[in-house]
Structure 1
Amino acid sequence: MTRCRLCGSAALASVVDLGATPPCESFLAADRLDLPEPAYPLHLRVCTDCWLAQIPPLITPEDTFQEYAYFSSYSTSWVEHARTFVDGAVQRLGLGGESFVVEVASNDGYLLRHVVDQGIRCLGIEPSVNVGAAARDEGVPTLTEFLSPDTGSAVRAEHGPADLVVANNVYAHIPDVVGFTRGLRALVADDGWVSIEVQHLLTLIEENQYDTIYHEHFQYYTVASAIRALESGGLTLVDVELLPTHGGSIRLWARPAEVAGEPSRRVAEVLDREKAAGLQELSGYAEFSARVAKVRRDLLRFLIEAAERGETVVGYGAPGKGNTLLNHCGIRPDLLAYTVDRNPYKHGRFTPGTRIPILPPERIAADKPDYVLVLPWNLRAELVEQLSFVHEWGGRLVFPIPELSIVEVKP
């Protein structure tokens, strides 16, 4: 990478180098275990002109999203998060039977199903064929396509302008930030709203959430860099909410520049927090790499010592972030016998790079391991409750992020 993908500057500074890993969602079928597996550098840098943190675009969205292993509906808390958002947006924006809502990267319809339930016309734009089909099966109209300015214009011409465009957990997934943002502007009505949820770089740095750095995530936003990105497509940030999702996210409310008006006080407050954390100067990033290395050492020390004591450790979940962690730490089945996942698509497959088997969740109760390493640590509250049964044999939960934590669950 030689230039920033947002502003074109060559002033890129290293934040953390995680080596080379396979794409995090490239789960391996058993018949591919003896075949070569490509790996790509995973090196986060920050532009010291516009402060957009980014990795090189070494894989394309087409490589990842034509068929996708992630189905949002398998997370109970995430479906509830979507329902709460829809209820709030309907009230905040006065949406009703005459309104039109578009969600970009709508996955399996986990969010738009709530829009359908309220009798509001909607459309999902989802590039992955398999999860888009699942959305249509649930009654959510879905277009199989990547968003571009042309796609946005075509949807607007056919369906009319959208009163609300939702883009949750996708603004980091697109290498062409400017083109995607122009696509959002093409979709939204001239007096409409755009809502974007994306992980907050502030919490990523402060909470050692380095496992959310992976090849699907091309960039990592502060509110300051998001303002610059939105402006590139003719949108203006008018409000921001801080969310607990994914360990700490921002919900950006934007409007076409012509009608945006002055931003809320919350925008200035978050900008002040980011500046105080040093995220608009290199000092804010200086210690991150060392803290990442400590997470790796602590987790490996725990796994090695457990193995030497003859104790069993298995995983819970096979999220993309987990594969960054497993590969960076060099964890193999000798230290983590297997992991389980609620998504049947992943059963019988193996984690990329580390080749750890992925099994149905029922295996934990059958095998009664000493420890369960929770890879989707961002769902901690939900999973502590789901896994409370491990207390029956004295099992404990292990959370690796932001620091190693061993939890004795209670019934």
Structure 2
Amino acid sequence: MRVREDWMLDMAWDLVDVRTFSDEGQDLYIRVDAVVLAQYDKKNGLTRKTRMLAILGISVVVMVLAVSIVYWLVMRNKMGKWKITDSYGACSLPNLEDSSSRSYLDGIRRDSNFPVFDLKTIIAATDNFSVANRLGKGGFGSVYKGLLQNGMEIAVKRLSKYSKQGIEQFENEVVLIAKLQHKNLVRILGYCVQGEEKILVYEYLPNKSLDSFIFDEAKRSWLDWGKKFEIICGIARGILYLHQDSRLRIIHRDLKASNVLLDTALNTKISDFGMARIFRGDQIEANTNCIVGTSGYMSPEYAMQGLFSIKSDVFSFGVLLLEIITGKRNTNNYHNGPPSNLIEHIWDQWIEGKAMEIIDPSLGETYLANEVSRCIQIGLLCVQEHATDRPTMSVVVFMLSNVTPLPSPKRPAFIFKSTSNTKDQTTNEGANSINEITVTKMDGR
């Protein structure tokens, strides 16, 4: 059917196609008013533009959020990591290039099983850091006895807010002993970092430190020679573990009587790793411009040149061994004439064949003379002036547990002499650090 063309033109907006399309379809052309078409195009254009702007805006917001989250995660990771610097002169941890060393330290930092204590828990356990609960005080802070709600006794080391090196010591100690497992090393239970508070939590050892026994007139008799020899061997095994058997070679640098703790059975526990340093597997010695340690226990090359190595700990062990045998401090004066320290006094007695006269009188006649004499000789071998002459701790452990002949010791270094105007040093029991920044005086824990 055909429709008149003039009739279709009269139908302004009601156009009807009355033809039947074929299966293939057919093009249909429609005439539309130009004004209406322009309005339609303008409306659709605004819609598309609005949609594009919305998509662009959402994309920008998502990108900003993603960048912010990544930045926050990176900063949190940096803040959470322990600070390690490569400046030996800054009294900080050495820069470890060895990949195994870094992996070990990173593993400690990522260890989610290492307990973190809440400050409120620490405050409640120590009765708000009561003076009555204080076990000792050092240059970096104080140590307190604490009691957790479950009845477990703990030792809380609270770093001083005013210590210039307290943060580094805190980081150092956590990193070094978090995963060290040895029966002759004190065990750390966790830590707390909240506000300005930096706290380490240790196992509590009721018998406190070794110096509270060997230098105390009343308590020194509690240790017979058999127990003293066990303590000497325990200290040697603990240092040997740090030097050789642990995954990283660790130099303690502050081995002394107050840093050797005793448990209920008087077993040895070496503590206080705040000054310790890590060596790579192939590293022999290191140098520092910041001398930290305790007068009377530092090796001559460390005290005078800043050189430290495993032989520095050997020297400290030798001093400690001789103090255990004699019950005397190395910093005391032993002559009426020119001042001399314990090492010089023992050396003089050794040369004259009178070494057995220096033995602590509280031992009575219960000791084995050959064993004591052998320990004195081992102590003198450990305090020889030149580091190359001193034995390693593995050799020391061997010499303590065997009766093979020992080499003759060479003259030790006499660098820690008291003088007539150093009364304070003597009354402070030789526990003052040689450098003016760090004071490592500790009372018995």
When normalised by structure 2's length, the TM-score is 0.21
Identify, as 1 or 2, the structure richer in strand. Answer: 1
